[in-house]
Chains A and B, each alone.
Chain A
Amino acid sequence: MRRRTFIAGTAAATALVSAPKIRAASKDKKYRTALIGSGWWGMNILREALAAGQTSVVALCDVDQDRLEIAAEEVNDLSGDSPRTYADYRELFEKEDVEIAIIATPDHWHALNTLAAIEAGAHVFIEKPTGHTIGESQAILAASRASDRIIQVGLHRRIGPHHVSGMKFLKDGGAGDVGMVRMFVHSRGGIENPSKNSDPPENLDWEMYCGPAPLRPYCRQIHPGGFRHYLDFANGTLGDWGVHWLDQMLWWCDQQSPKTVYSTGGRPVRGEAILTESEQTSDAPDSQIATYEFENFTATWEHRRFAGQGPEQTSIGCYFFGDKGTFHIGWRDGWTFYPADSKQQIIHQDSQLQEPDGHNMQLLWADFLHSIETGKQPTANIEIGHQATTASLLGMLSLKLGRSVRWDGEKEQVIGDDEANRLLKREYRAPWTYPAIG
C-alpha cells in the first residue's frame, strides 16, 4: 500500500461526495407524507423532505398539542401545505393515505409507530435507534422483510461526505491493518439535582407520551427534549450517539457481529438516580464503557458526561488503530489520519455538514427517495440500522445485568443466559402489547 498524500486523499474524497442523483422524470411525484413526533429532530427531517421538493405533508402527529401547532404552522409557511394534526398515530394511519411516514418519536415508541406505518403501506424513514429493546428492532426488521416497503434509518453518517471518504481511506488500507477500534463521546457536566415532579402541561397527553413504557411522574426535564436520559424512554448516550459510532465501526468491519459484549458504568458524578412521588433525576449512566469482542479485533465504547474534552484533540468520534497509524473519524472536525511514523504528514479532510445542527439529512433523504423510485435498498437500510441498534442495546443489556454476554449473531440470542435473553424484550404497559417478531 503506497503512502497516501494529503492531495490524493482529498481527490479520492471529492469523487465520492457527489449526491445520489434522482431521475429527473420523477421529480413531479409528490409523496403524501406524515410525521410522527413533530419535535426538534422530526422537524429537521421534515424540512429536508420539503426542501427536496417531492413531499406533500398530509399529517402531523404528536402528543404535545403545542409542538403540533408550531410544526403545522411551520409546514404551512414552508410549503403552503395544511397538514391535519393528530394526537394518536393509530387514528392518523386509519384516516390518512400515507405514502411516506417519518418516525421521530422517543425510542420507546419507535416499534409500534413503525409497524403501524408498514401495516398502512407506507415507506418509512425511522430515526435511530430502531428499538428500545432488541426484540422491537427485530420485529421491525421482520415486518419490513415481509413487505416491499423501503425503510431508511436516520443514520446520516452513512452518507455524509467525510464519512464516505474516510471509510474509503480506511478500507483501502490507509491506516494499515486495524486491530482496535475506540468509539467515544465526551461532554461537560456535574452533579444532577433532582427536579420537582409536576402535573403535565395541559397541552401534553402524558399518558400517551409514556405509552408502552411505565407511567412515571411527569417532570419538565423529560419533555420537551430530555427523554434520552430516562431509561424508560431511551438508552442514554450509548443508545443515542453510540448507535452512530457503532454503525461506523460495523460499516468498516463489513457488518460483523460481536462475539462477546461487556459494559460497565454508572452515575458517579451526576449521583444516584432518584424517583419519588415528588421529585426525580434522570437515570441514564453519566459514564460508561462497553467492550465488543469480534473475531479478529476488539472495539470499545466510552462516554463521559463530565470533564469535557480535556487533553484530547477531539471529544467525539471513532479511532481506528492500525499498524500505519491512527485514523479518527469525527463530526464537525471531519477525519484525520495520524501516521504511526511521526515524520510522515498528517492527512485531514474537513466535514461537509448542514448547519445549524451539523448533519447530512439532505443526502440521506435523497437516497431514500431514490430507493423508493428504484426499489433498491437504501444506504442506511433496516438491516444496517438494526445491527447498529442491536450493538448499542447489547451494551446496555450487559450494563444492566452486570456481566458479559456471549452473542449469537445468527440466531440473535444470548448464549446460555436466560436472564439476559429475557432482557431482549420488555414488559409493555397495558393496553399496549409487545410486538410479535415475524
Chain B
Amino acid sequence: MSSIYQRLISLLLIVFPGTAISEDWYRWRGPHLDGISTETRLNCDWKNDQAKLAWKAQVGTGFSSVVVKDKRAFTLGHVDDQDVVYCLDVDDGNQQWKFGYPAELGDRDFEGGPTSTPTIDDDRVYVLARAGELFCFDAASGKVNWRKQVADEASVRLPGWGFSAAPLVVGEMLLLNMGESGVAIDKRTGELIWSSADRECGYATPVVVGEGASAVAIFASGKAYTGVEAKSGKQLWSERWLTSFNCNAADPIVHDGKMFLSSGYNRGAALFDMTGETPSLIWKSKEMKNQIHGCLLYKEHLYGIDGDMESGARLRCMEWSTGEVVWSVDDLHPGGLAIAGGRLILLTEPGELVVAPASPQGWTPTSRATVTGRKSWTAPVISGGRIFCRSIDGLVVCVDCRE
C-alpha cells in the first residue's frame, strides 16, 4: 500500500539522500565506512558547557571504539589479565552480557589493552583479539558461536602492537588485516578462505572498492598498502609505504577514482590516481600525518589529526584534490574525530567534546562540554541521537543529544 505519506517520505529521501534521523553505527567508521554519521537531529546546544550525560560505564583499558545496533552497544577493554567484550544497553548503560578471554595488557609504548573495534553483522558480533583469535558471538546472548586462532591457522605473525583492525564483512566473508595482504574467513563457520604471506600487517581496517566478483580489498601492511581481489586474495597492486615502526594505521580513503594514504612518524600523506592498473601519484605532502586516526573526507575536504599523539597533534582541514592545508589548529589536543550533520564532533585528549561546523572556512566551535574528562584517543561514535565517548582507561560516556 502506498499512501501519500509514504510517497512523501520517499520524496524526502530522494531530496536529502544523505540524512537520517537515526542509524545504527554497527561497524568501525560507521554504516557508510567513512566515519561520518548522516544523523542530522543532534542537539548539541549545551548550556554552560554541560552536556546531558545519559550514563557512564567502566570497560577497562583500551582504544576500542563503540558499535551500536538494536539498542545494544559493544566495546572492548582490558580488566585483570583479560580482554573483555561488553554488551551495554544504550538506554541506561547496564551490562547485558560480557565475555572475557585471557590477554596481556601489552602496554609497550602506550597504555595497552585492546585496540580493535567489534563488528556487528545481523545477529552476530565479531571480535578480533590482539593475539589473533577471532570470536563470533550471538549479539543478544553473548554466547560464543565459534572462536578461531586465525593467526596460527593462517601462519601469520603478530605485528608489534598486536592485531588492531576491525573485521570487515563483505558478503559471506570476513576480511581481517593479518599477514602481508589480509586473511578471509567464512563469516558463518570461521573457516579460512584465503590468506596471505607471513609478513607484518599494519593496523588499519581493510577497505573494499567495488562490489561482487570485481571487488578489490585494500590492506595496510607494515610496509605497503596492497590491493587484492576480495574473493581470492590475489594481489593486484601494492603501493610501498614505509613508516617508522611499521605503523600504517589509518584506513585508506578511496573516492572519485583516487586513493588517499597517510601515516604518522613524519611519513605524511599522498593521493593516488586509481584509474590505471597500479596507483599513480597525484600529490604528496608532509602536512597530514595520521598516526592512529584516519581522516574524514567531507565535501572534498579532509578533516584529520596531523602529527604524533604523544608529542601534540593538530586538527587540520586539507583540500582533497590538491593536498593544500586549508586550516590548522595547533592547540586543541585532538583525541578523536567524527562528523555528523555537517558538524565536526571532536573528542579532545583531555576528554572534552567540541562541536564546530565542518567547513573549510575555519574552526569555529559552537559548543563544548566535558564528557570523559580523561585521556581519550578514541573517535566519538554517533548513533540514535547519542554520542558515545571512551577514555583510554575505560570510561564510556553516553551523551544524550536527542531532541
Q: Which residues of A contact B (CB under 8 A)?
A: 40, 43, 66-67, 69-70, 77, 195, 201, 220-221, 224-225, 356
Contacts and interface: CB of A to CB of B under 8 A. Distances in A.
Contact of B244 (A40, A195, A220): A40
A225 B244 contact: yes
B160 interface: yes
Nearest to B285: A77
B46 interface: no
B341 to A, nearest CB: 34
Which of B200, B245, B266 neighbours the largest number of chain A CB atoms within 10 Å of its CB?
B266
Given A66-B223, A195-B108, A356 B311 contact: yes
Contacts of B307: 356
Given A220-B160, A356-B311, A70 B242 contact: yes
Given A77-B284, A356-B307, A66 B242 contact: yes
Nearest to B284: A77
B191 to A, nearest CB: 30
Interface string B230-243: 00000000001011
Interface of B: 108, 160, 200, 223, 240, 242-245, 266-267, 284, 307, 311-312
Query: Interface majority SS on B: helix, strand, loop or mixed?
Result: loop
Nearest to A71: B242
Which of A43, A66, A225 neighbours the largest number of chain B CB atoms within 10 Å of its CB?
A66
B156 to A, nearest CB: 15
Nearest to A68: B242
A304 B317 CA distance: 39
B272 to A, nearest CB: 15
Per CB-CB distance, the 8 closest pairs between chain A and chain B, nearest first, are A70-B242, A66-B242, A224-B244, A69-B242, A220-B160, A224-B245, A356-B311, A195-B108
17 contacts: A40-B244, A40-B266, A43-B266, A66-B242, A67-B244, A69-B240, A69-B242, A70-B242, A70-B243, A77-B284, A195-B108, A201-B200, A220-B160, A221-B108, A356-B307, A356-B311, A356-B312
Contacts of A77: 284
Nearest to B241: A70
A195 B307 CA distance: 27
Contacts of A225: 244-245
Nearest to A221: B108
A22 to B, nearest CB: 26
Contacts of B243: 70
Given A70-B243, A70-B267, 5 more contacts: A40-B244, A69-B242, A195-B108, A201-B200, A356-B311
A259 to B, nearest CB: 40
A70 B222 CA distance: 13
